[in-house]
Structure 1
Amino acid sequence: MYSELVISTYNNPRALDLCLESVAMQRTAPDGVCIADDGSGPETRAVAERFATRLPRLRHVWHEDRGFEKGEILNKAIASSQAEVLVFIDGDVMIHPDFITRHLNLARPGRFATGSLIRLDAAATASVTAAMVRSGQVFSRRWLRENRALGKLSTWLKTRPFPVPVMDVLERMSPVRRSLCGANASVCRSDLLKINGYDETLKYGGQDKHLGVRLKNAGVRGRHLRYSAPLVHLDHPRGYADPERKKRHKALIRAARRSGESWTAHGIEKDPRT
């Protein structure tokens, strides 16, 4: 199936540069790469242009900065994509060389796959270089342990310490709810169109979970790749976080679970009555 990697970003060109370095190191390259840009400045465009010759069919989808509008720019990326399978990450992560391979091996209609993050603190983030990404050092358990990223057994398991078949069994046994994580997910484009994509009224805090709940309500089942698709997250401030909005979004997620709703009127297609 034709695949596209969709990378959401906003005004973090250093992180995006490191992210794209990791994309360029994939053992299985996606058929296309889309940078879904929520209104960044020229520095981000310059990063995209630098990688245009290194990555297959790189496109840059941008809209004007109106505050946190990640759902809207992702909907634009989904609507304009020609891919059958979309893999989603954020532009502040670095993906293991087998990341795309694992997602594509699990991709099929009626299923979304979702994983998790290994988080770096600010000091470790500042130390990362493009050379460390290219060499794979940032995925090394020794380096991650030395940089305070492996404090729990569950996090250590996210480094894929055993062969994929073993990690696959552990993923199937995991009691963690299969909530969609937008920084590590894949889903068929047709399934996203079935629910009209992201609800654009939800800003930061819960919009990915809301999407995952509506996918499940539409009969699209979640699949863990919690321990088999390693991904390292670069630290950054979150000035856009809003506790009141997060509270509202949690209520909307609970309501979607209860009601069984799947379609949103505030998604890719706009309902003129709302």
Structure 2
Amino acid sequence: MNNIKVGIIISTYNNPEWLEKTLWGYMAQERKADEIIIADDGSRDDTRMLIERYAETLPIKHVWHEDDGFRKTKILNEALKVATADYIIFTDQDCVPRRDFIATHLRYARKGCFLSGGYFSLPMSISREMTHEDICQGRPFSIAWLRSRGLKLSFKCTKLVRCGFFSSFMNAVTPTKATWNGMNSSGWRHDLMAANGFDERMRYGGEDRELGERLFNTGIRSRQIRYSAIVIHLDHSRPYVNNEAWQLNNAIRKETRKKRLKRTEYGIDR
């Protein structure tokens, strides 16, 4: 996989503080990204200025459209249009990657597969406290460091254990299905383009998983790596959550499963 060109698509909206912490994580990667595309759902100028500053050290492309409500699926499709990488990892502005994140996705990548990674959620206090040095040194992925900042131990902390055998075992026994999750999933660009990208009718709530369901319908398999490819999920509010959006999305997903749709008519190519 050394000759594979890998891209990162990061969705963002009006949170440059969290986006900057995420970009610090990509600066510290063992295997660097060949391209990083910021899929910006209408952020203000402070996000644009941040991206311009980091474009000097990271291979960043900024794809933006005007703010007209939650249109994440549309801006992700715009990002896919400009992507040139063979293999693409999707994530969000609030997901700081461990230093082996890209390398791990590439190690598990296989033809005819997409990967479903994992996350570990932090409280707001630690999310705000993390510095550039902390992230570059990998401290937020240390259970001891997190405990020293007041985090209570729980079973979920097992996601932070960096041990190949243990991670592989947990990937195999976890009851959680390997679905396409926007904060940490990856696949081949030609598979995503064949599916016509994301369904642009969808709002917040399962909008990422619907793409995965169409990939399943084409015979693409999923692989679970939620204990191997890890991001730290920074805390934030979700003002865009509403029942009407969930109902719409559930209806679209139901149709996708019932008709075994492989391609959406409401995606990249309309």
Q: Same fold (TM over 0.5)?
A: yes
Task: Name structure 2 gaps, 5 residues minimum.
Answer: none
Task: Name structure 1 gaps, 5 residues minimum.
Answer: none
SS of equivalent residue, structure 1 residue 254: helix
Matched-pair contact (CA < 8 Å) for 2:118–2:228: no
| Map 1:212-227 → 2, pairs under 5 A | 212-227=212-227
Task: Indicate the residue corresponding to 1:23 in structure 2.
Answer: 26
Task: Indicate the residue corresponding to 1:2 in structure 2.
Answer: 5
Aligned residues: CA RMSD: 1.5
| Map 1:191-270 → 2, pairs under 5 A | 191-270=191-270
Q: CA deviation at 1:211?
A: 0.9
SS of equivalent residue, structure 1 residue 226: strand
TM-score (norm: length of structure 1): 0.92
Distance of aligned partners of 1:150 and 1:76 in 2 relative to their CA distance in 1, 3 Å threshold: farther
Task: Indicate the residue corresponding to 1:47 in structure 2.
Answer: 50
Paired letter, 1:138? P
Task: Give me the whole-angstrom Cα distance separating, in 2, the residues matched to 1:269 and 1:74.
Answer: 13
Q: CA deviation at 1:261?
A: 1.1
Cα deviations by residue, 1:16-73 (Å, 9 ceiling, x for unpaired): 1100000000000111111111111111111111211221x21111111111111001
Paired letter, 1:245? A
Distance of aligned partners of 1:150 and 1:29 in 2 relative to their CA distance in 1, 3 Å threshold: farther
Paired letter, 1:11? N
Task: Give me the whole-angstrom Cα distance separating, in 1, the residues matched to 2:159 and 2:150.
Answer: 14
Task: Give me the whole-angstrom Cα distance separating, in 1, the residues matched to 2:192 and 2:233.
Answer: 25
Task: Give me the whole-angstrom Cα distance separating, in 2, the residues matched to 1:187 and 1:28.
Answer: 17
Q: CA deviation at 1:131?
A: 2.1
Cα deviations by residue, 1:78-103 (Å, 9 ceiling, x for unpaired): 11111110011101111000000001
Cα deviations by residue, 1:136-187 (Å, 9 ceiling, x for unpaired): 111111233445656531x12211x142243123212322111111100100
Q: CA deviation at 1:253?
A: 2.1
Task: Indicate the residue corresponding to 1:12 in structure 2.
Answer: 15
TM-score (norm: length of structure 2): 0.94
Equivalences, count:
267
Task: Give me the whole-angstrom Cα distance separating, in 1, the residues matched to 2:147 and 2:181.
Answer: 24
Identity over the aligned pairs, expressed in percent? Answer: 37
2:118 is aligned, of 104, 116, 119, to 116
Task: Indicate the residue corresponding to 1:102 in structure 2.
Answer: 104
Paired letter, 2:135? V
Task: Give me the whole-angstrom Cα distance separating, in 1, the residues matched to 2:148 and 2:254.
Answer: 39
SS of equivalent residue, structure 1 residue 61: strand
Task: Give me the whole-angstrom Cα distance separating, in 1, the residues matched to 2:164 and 2:30.
Answer: 15
Task: Give me the whole-angstrom Cα distance separating, in 1, the residues matched to 2:253 and 2:7.
Answer: 27
Paired letter, 2:132? A
Q: CA deviation at 1:207?
A: 0.4
Cα deviations by residue, 1:192-215 (Å, 9 ceiling, x for unpaired): 011100000001111011111111
Task: Give me the whole-angstrom Cα distance separating, in 2, the residues matched to 1:162 and 1:91.
Answer: 23
Task: Give me the whole-angstrom Cα distance separating, in 1, the residues matched to 2:162 and 2:53.
Answer: 35
Task: Give me the whole-angstrom Cα distance separating, in 1, the residues matched to 2:9 and 2:186.
Answer: 10
Task: Give me the whole-angstrom Cα distance separating, in 2, the residues matched to 1:227 and 1:149.
Answer: 19
